[in-house]
Structure 1
């Protein structure tokens, strides 16, 4: 436990724990090792480790991985400091594989390295295995052929800082870190008079499909979703809905936890799963048992149900988990695409099925375009450039929030992104439009035509968070707020991104304390006098009209703003 939770006042131990956690991260993401103790088994880092910090024996791919990690204790070094090539040369992979007990200096290898040797020597078909070196560090301008020479002839993959963010960190916070290839699901036949399933073949315009319908124990789906999470919701229009789907989630939990009978099979609409290949065997040498195998599974309907089951599983994993799910089943429909070579046809068919199927929580129009190429590109661009977590699918980061990997405030909701894009780039009125996410026709090229466009958007988002925090506004945001964001972008956006937050902290009060007087001064010289007849009294009343919206969207606003704040500062 000391390795997992070191004394926070001891900086050296904290840094050692973070370095160890870096290897844990790689093992979790790439091999689906969810338990800390399970991962710790493969950590070898320590004195006399032969230059190997961790390993993993992957039986499915017949590959043995040797890991060397160089964790940097500050962000600058993490992004820029390179691993020295001599550090790769100290990896004693060949000596260890040859069964040597000591390094070249006659130092005896530590117990974890000896454990590695024992596990390799016990593999019956070791001749079928290959070896691969993983380097968790920055390493530029080194050819793959040269790396092979440095590692003793082994294939090598480098995870530099950018690859770590993209392939390790982002998958963890979105719950997409470990992909399922073949899933094995156990079926209970004890109460099924007509066998475990019904199957039939359907011919569609996109090819032939086989549909298999059967009842599956809820604990099996809970176990699968606990391990694979959003990685098997790739084609689902949304991810897990936490707070927003609370009513449905609570109903699912109540039916599973508080009832000992199987009302869940009656109340729940069921789950639709896509598979490339589906096999079921009712004769597996166990009474009243069958086994279902699905290849490359994707849940396209019922993701909310599956994810809630996984939460129940996770919360009870240290208790009598079998009793919680005992005798409770859910209807599963598996669609097997018999002709799946055409990717475009496959995706189109999936989208059609998803849109046509009724769900317990309605799919809104914005959800239906969450998997569009534009949304995927925006998400990657914002994460790579600014570290922003763009939520293109509702609930996409629920797993990261639930596990305290990220705070909810760090997420940029999809509608808010477009509102910030428009208001910071001179279209303040457009930013107020309802359902903006589905009412814009921008392309990715439009968004990135000038690097200032997205820079402005990021700065605007930081300004918006500052304004909302100070004013304690609820979700209803008025035109005045967007105008302030635009004004901050015009007046105080610095050249360097790393200075954005400091500039907002240092200058927002300068804008805000004179903002109302600025608007009043403009009103005095830009109002229109209009008349209106009182319907009750018939009296003609005179009033002043102001068109703030038109002004905020004009170049004149920028000119007036710079002039006013130049004079009054």
Structure 2
């Protein structure tokens, strides 16, 4: 049976597919299962499933997960409707683990549940495994101890609607959904005359480090980035650059695809990777092969190279992938922090290395502060409270756009956020400043003031409408920011749910009277000044209008309300 999303308009089948996709989302994010067929293997939802909708046997953590999911078909129910406790009680985890083939009513368990039993029974060291119940549903006011009783004595974890957005949806659209703990990289020794690596230890004021330098097959880097994506670019000042890094991406792609020889090793600057522990073994029972293991890896330089290799890998998965990458290698420098217990020292050292390293695509100043705590906190706040995708790092949402999870227009670029914050809250002139992202000096408390942030959100929605009506190459002038402020003053509704409802009509109303409104300002606040004509020497009078000062004043708000009330 084809479990993929139905093409017809059958609402019931679509809802069934969405419910199944909900479990797929959990398996993809939490266990890094990228392939649809691979995830489908672990979904048991159906008749006589013993109340278990899915499972996963995690050999690394020695944990077996049993999933109970309740997908809601509309947004209101998804956010508010609770799972009935009786639905948790129907989970036959104990009976299934005891090897029973039927439920308490004598119904034979489905083939998927028997598959689960077979896989558990075939685990050699099953005594080392623990069990955990995952509940994908809203569940309030139930104590952990009571929940353990409901699940038959097993520990449990609840993913309610807010946790689903934070821990499942947001990671998938940013490409940070699966954390790498230990990475295994295969090394080719066939052309390495002096072994696979150069290694030496250096002492820094932040602690002792070991540096390992070696050439790694490009296919290995592509495979790693394909699976872990931005989760191993956490300390990189930016994520993958799609449109902006197009020239570099194309050059990398052409060197890999169009050449059968290894020019890539000559042309590319290489990749710098951070690791807590690094091991390399050149004796693994295979001729001309070695294995590299890195713990908690983070790429701090060369993310663009790595991500482009992952795109090539993804596009050629199958028989062609080995051929495309054959004999092509890239220089990798691994910095192992031998003293990594002090988190602040670790972060400072990472920043210093990142800033000092010469990269193929220049790192601008705004990129350098993209990982600051304030930026991380405001990104989370905007997503949790407004559903806004604040792009603190360039290219952060490129993976989500590339895979069709989100449209590019839904991303709030970092400078634009601060422009909207300032102009919607009365600092129209400030909103026009260049490099505003690095010029602002606001605290987290100021940025998350409810009224100010509500204004910013409404202002952003208005700006999107105004920008849509302008020519694509038309510069955003002072008047546009003033219009955003005017819309906020005149039309912002009480409830946030109503913000988008009348923006188009309200903007039409504002725009129809805007030129006359500015004319009224000229009539009321014009200053008569004089200047000398350079040719004739004649002194002439002219009218001066200080729009900037007016737009930033409380008088602007009074004049605006008075004028449009008359209209």
With the length of structure 2 as denominator, give the TM-score of the two structures.
Answer: 0.99
Match of 2:84 in 1: 84
Match of 1:462 in 2: 461
C-alpha distance in structure 1 between counterparts of 2:212 and 2:68, whole Å: 46
User: Quick one: structure 1 residues 8 and 539, their matched pair in 2 at CA, closer, same or farther if it must change by over 3 Å?
Assistant: farther
C-alpha distance in structure 2 between counterparts of 1:433 and 1:489, whole Å: 21
Shift in Å at residue 528 of structure 1? 1.2
Could you report, residue by residue, the CA deviation over 1:290-340 in whole angstroms, capped at 9, with x for unpaired residues?
Answer: 000000000000000000000000111144100000000000000000000
User: What are structure 1's unaligned runs of at least 5 residues?
Assistant: none
1:494 pairs with 2:506: no
Match of 1:533 in 2: 532
Match of 2:273 in 1: 273
C-alpha distance in structure 2 between counterparts of 1:8 and 1:428, whole Å: 49
C-alpha distance in structure 2 between counterparts of 1:460 and 1:509, whole Å: 15
Shift in Å at residue 166 of structure 1? 0.1
| Structure-to-structure mapping, 1:365-384, within 5 angstroms | 365-384=365-384
SS in 1 for 2:6: coil
SS in 1 for 2:483: helix
Match of 1:65 in 2: 65
| Structure-to-structure mapping, 1:470-489, within 5 angstroms | 470-474=469-473, 476-489=475-488
Is the contact made by 1:236 and 1:299 (CA closer than 8 Å) also made in structure 2?
yes
| Structure-to-structure mapping, 1:128-527, within 5 angstroms | 128-448=128-448, 450-474=449-473, 476-527=475-526
Shift in Å at residue 473 of structure 1? 4.1
Could you report, residue by residue, the CA deviation over 1:327-384 in whole angstroms, capped at 9, with x for unpaired residues?
Answer: 0000000000000000000000000000000000000000000000100110000000
C-alpha distance in structure 2 between counterparts of 1:29 and 1:91, whole Å: 23
Match of 2:8 in 1: 8
1:562 pairs with 2:565: no
Match of 1:550 in 2: 549
Across the two proteins, how many residue pairs are aligned to each other? 567
Shift in Å at residue 475 of structure 1? 6.6
C-alpha distance in structure 2 between counterparts of 1:273 and 1:365, whole Å: 22
Is the contact made by 1:271 and 1:332 (CA closer than 8 Å) also made in structure 2?
yes
Is the contact made by 1:419 and 1:431 (CA closer than 8 Å) also made in structure 2?
yes
Shift in Å at residue 530 of structure 1? 1.8
SS in 1 for 2:234: coil
C-alpha distance in structure 2 between counterparts of 1:382 and 1:474, whole Å: 28
Is the contact made by 1:64 and 1:130 (CA closer than 8 Å) also made in structure 2?
yes
Shift in Å at residue 503 of structure 1? 2.8
Shift in Å at residue 506 of structure 1? 3.1
Match of 2:121 in 1: 121
C-alpha distance in structure 2 between counterparts of 1:128 and 1:305, whole Å: 40
Could you report, residue by residue, the CA deviation over 1:484-534 in whole angstroms, capped at 9, with x for unpaired residues?
Answer: 000000000011000000131331111111111110111112111222223
Shift in Å at residue 537 of structure 1? 4.2
User: Quick one: structure 1 residues 475 and 392, their matched pair in 2 at CA, closer, same or farther if it must change by over 3 Å?
Assistant: farther
User: Quick one: structure 1 residues 106 and 55, their matched pair in 2 at CA, closer, same or farther if it must change by over 3 Å?
Assistant: same
C-alpha distance in structure 2 between counterparts of 1:277 and 1:522, whole Å: 67
SS in 1 for 2:469: helix
C-alpha distance in structure 2 between counterparts of 1:65 and 1:523, whole Å: 70
C-alpha distance in structure 2 between counterparts of 1:318 and 1:292, whole Å: 24
Could you report, residue by residue, the CA deviation over 1:535-563 in whole angstroms, capped at 9, with x for unpaired residues?
Answer: 34444333211000000000000000000
C-alpha distance in structure 1 between counterparts of 2:75 and 2:364, whole Å: 40
Could you report, residue by residue, the CA deviation over 1:370-400 in whole angstroms, capped at 9, with x for unpaired residues?
Answer: 0001001100000000000000000000000
| Cα RMSD (Å) | 1.0
C-alpha distance in structure 1 between counterparts of 2:139 and 2:220, whole Å: 42
SS in 2 for 1:185: strand
SS in 2 for 1:415: helix
With the length of structure 1 as denominator, give the TM-score of the two structures.
Answer: 0.99
SS in 2 for 1:272: strand
C-alpha distance in structure 2 between counterparts of 1:8 and 1:151, whole Å: 38
C-alpha distance in structure 2 between counterparts of 1:471 and 1:567, whole Å: 28
Could you report, residue by residue, the CA deviation over 1:168-218 in whole angstroms, capped at 9, with x for unpaired residues?
Answer: 000000000000000000000111101100000000000000000000000
C-alpha distance in structure 2 between counterparts of 1:187 and 1:558, whole Å: 67
Is the contact made by 1:494 and 1:503 (CA closer than 8 Å) also made in structure 2?
no
C-alpha distance in structure 2 between counterparts of 1:302 and 1:171, whole Å: 22
C-alpha distance in structure 2 between counterparts of 1:193 and 1:479, whole Å: 64
SS in 1 for 2:48: coil
